[in-house]
Structure 1
Amino acid sequence: MDYIHVNEMEFYGYHGVLMEETKIGQRFRATVSLAVDTSKAGKSDDLGKTVNYAEVYAICRSIVEGKPYKLIEAVAEQIADALLKEFKEFVSGVKVLLIKPDPPIPGHYASVSVEITRGQFV
């Protein structure tokens, strides 16, 4: 299996349980990995035979910057579902890592994140 990775996309969204998260918003970073057979695209050099990275970015952006969710688990689920549906011809599985770098909770840590895998991802 081959993989396409779109790494560390950054967006601004209003997801969270706390009121300040839904009013002020915050940054989110997303990395998606798509399980794809890239051999046809690699042999033909034809974008029509693979996943368009710009479209992946646009889908992720529309979800993270769109409807607010309480949980980043829900945001990650929406991303995975949308990518599997949009690219069903090419993608057999997807992994989504969604990072909330600055959650408003006390303590010292780099970030909080959720990683989900959907479909066939070996």
Structure 2
Amino acid sequence: MGKIRIQNLKFYTYNGVLPEEKKLGQPIAIDLELTVPIENPGRTDQVGDTVSYAEVNAQVAEFVKSHSYNLMESLVVGILDLIEKLFDKVEVATVKIRKFSVPMAGIYDYIEIEETRNFKK
């Protein structure tokens, strides 16, 4: 097994519980880690034998831009559902989302939600 990592995808979204978050929006960053078999594509050198990270990026970007949730947890689950549905070579996926503009008191860089799902149980 190998890992494909796509780090720090950035989007401007309208996710959040508060009306201001849905109206004004805020930036988020997403990290993806996909566990895939890489031995065969490493030998054949054919993109069709692996998971195209360009296609993963395009599909996740379209999903994030076209969905709005109250909770970042819901966005994480939605992205995992998308990966499971579209990319059958992925055996395990981890999605992390960082939200930088959270309306709460305190000094912090961001909040982060992470979930890992095993697709090949």
TM-score normalized with structure 1 length: 0.93
Question: 1:103 Cα deviation (Å)?
Answer: 1.4
Matched, 1:7 2:7: yes
Please report the RMSD computed on the Cα atoms of aligned residues, expressed in angstroms.
Answer: 1.3
Paired AA for residue 80 in structure 1: L
Which sections of structure 1, spanning at least 5 residues, go unmatched? none
- Consecutive aligned runs of 4 or more in structure 1 exceeding 3 Å deviation: none
For the Cα contact (< 8 Å) 1:15–1:69, is it kept in 2?
yes
Secondary structure at 1:91 match in 2:
coil
Aligned to 2:83: 83
Matched, 1:111 2:110: yes
Which sections of structure 2, spanning at least 5 residues, go unmatched? none
Supply the distance in 2 between the matched residues of 1:6 and 1:73 (Cα, whole angstroms).
19
For the Cα contact (< 8 Å) 2:3–2:34, is it kept in 1?
yes
TM-score normalized with structure 2 length: 0.94
Question: 1:106 Cα deviation (Å)?
Answer: 1.7
Aligned to 1:96: 95
1:35-114 to 2 correspondence within 5 Å?
35-88=35-88, 90-114=89-113
Matched, 1:30 2:30: yes
Question: 1:120 Cα deviation (Å)?
Answer: 5.2
Secondary structure at 2:105 match in 1:
coil
Aligned residues: 120
For the Cα contact (< 8 Å) 1:59–1:79, is it kept in 2?
no
For the Cα contact (< 8 Å) 1:76–1:114, is it kept in 2?
yes
Secondary structure at 2:83 match in 1:
helix
